[in-house]
Amino acid sequence: MYERMMEIMKGVGTPKVLVVGDFMLDHYLFGNIDRISPEAPVVVMNVTERQEQPGGAGSVVADLAALEVAVACMGVVGDDANGRKLCDMLAEMAGVNIDGLVSDSARPTTSKQRIVGLAQHRHRQQLMRIDEEDTGDISEATQEELRKRLDKLVAWCDVVCLEDYDKGVLCHSFAQQVIAAAGAAGKKVIVDPARLSDYSRYAGAWLVKPNRREVGIATGIEINGNENWHEAVGQLARDYDIANLVVTLDKSGAYLYQRDSDKGELIPTRPRSVYDVTGAGDMVLAALGTLIGAHYDNIEKPTLEEVVRLANVAGGLEVEKFGCVGITRGEIIAELSRERRDQRGKIYTLALLLQELEWQRDKTIVFTNGCYDLLHPGHIELLNFAKKQGDILIVAINSDRSVRELKGESRPILKEQDRMALVSALEMVDYVVLFDEETPKAIIEQVSPNVLIKGSDWTGAVVGQGWVESHGGKVVLMPLVAGRSTTGIIDKVLASYGEK
């Protein structure tokens, strides 16, 4: 399964996505909180940092840009400093077209200012949010300006994403015009809905992605089990002519309903350490748009179930970060690789390792090798040092036969399976592989790492150095602390035994 998921991500290409909805500007004010104000019972924050970034539909655009997708924006900004700032930020993103953004002097640019305190100067905690907005429907004149640009952008794109925060752009009349135009052009429409009881503005959409609370509001059905999910989303599909629904369920994953088959399925996700849920829904929409809009010329087109599984991964990675932070294709592939490694372990044959590395060549691959007989603090220090030199750490371990060739018939103390198991249990190690030759030259040339690590006590030329450097890599020597060696431990044990 994981190979198939990674293959899909590799085969996405560069789809073209039209994002229509409520574009916002997010302001973040960060500071340290050390005292209570003498003027009132409130905390005093000393500002240390300010940030601005696109929010709302702009956050979806940023997420799509991180996924290397071509994007066109359609929405409304105010004729004000925030609107100009937002347009500039979006235009600076690679592959983003802002020709569909209309300036309306009668409304402010929707903006949200978040006050974020740093508890003990470390842990971020949102204290307050200040909004500036007009949530009324956009005027008929503004709708007309958007309509003039709609057909051209729909013809250009592969898929249309609607990001609705109920701030007036996706009012009933304009949302229906977008869905109708997309339908006439044969383009799918994916909707991240607002918290509404009436989904008529989304009628005819190909896919709608509410969260669990939004489903309850839209249907009036109390959700308490899989049968209720099926009842609720089935009702939405029938009442509003929606072909598919994906209900995001936080740590429980997502519930996928496909109207044609009247089939519902719970798609689980891996539990996460949630740092901030802000933007997770935007990231899921961006992933859905990317995967559904892609053409997949060289591989079999993914099923909707596979698409939702991948979107779950993207959303899960986003909640582990603070704020709205785009997730890249490389991060999704790396996460899939980690999940597969967690499932099958870290010990690989060379053939399987080389297959695995085909998905990892955009990362910095670090390689080190040794006998690792009687694991000791010196080994731990070297491996920690090695991991800091790149993204992926591979440890090649001498076979029992090669250890005997190097160190004599009394070694190794531990068999190769035990030595590999101990090293693979270390958090900093990503892959463990066995080699049978007296030197690691052959395996280094096949792995072709970016960084080759050796202890500074090594004398002479480092085995594999020429190959690594000729392929753009480097050799790094780690300073070693004297007296930390397996031989020293064995000698000490033997001396102690002899004294008895």
Which sequence positions are flagged as catalytic? 282
Cα distances (Å, whole numbers) of residue 415 to 376, 490, 491: 16, 16, 19
Cα distances (Å, whole numbers) of residue 77 to 55, 149, 255, 486: 12, 15, 34, 67
Q: What gap in Å lies between CA 12 and CA 359, rounded to an integer? A: 14
Task: Provide the edge-to-edge strand list for the sheet that holds 392-398.
Answer: 347-348, 431-435, 392-398, 365-370, 451-455, 474-478
Q: What gap in Å lies between CA 223 and CA 1, rounded to an integer? A: 31
Q: What does the DSSP assignment read for 65-88?
A: HHTT-EEEEEEEEESSHHHHHHHH
DSSP 298: S
Q: Among all chains, which residue has been given the structure tokens 């202890």?
A: 455
Which residue intervals of 250-300 are DSSP H helices? Answer: 280-293
Angle subtended by helix axes 304-319 and 329-344, to nearest 10: 100
Q: What gap in Å lies between CA 278 and CA 276, rounded to an integer? A: 6
The DSSP bridge pattern shows strands 43-56 and 23-36 to be: antiparallel
Burial track 27-44 (b if 16+ CB lie within 10 A, e otherwise): bbbbbbbeeeeeeeeeee
Residues 368, 31 contacting (CB under 8 angstroms): no
Q: Is 140 helix (H, G, I), strand (E, B) or coil?
A: helix
Task: Provide the edge-to-edge strand list for the sheet that holds 207-208.
Answer: 96-104, 70-78, 16-21, 159-163, 188-192, 207-208, 244-248, 254-258, 263-267
Q: How many residues does the chain have?
A: 500
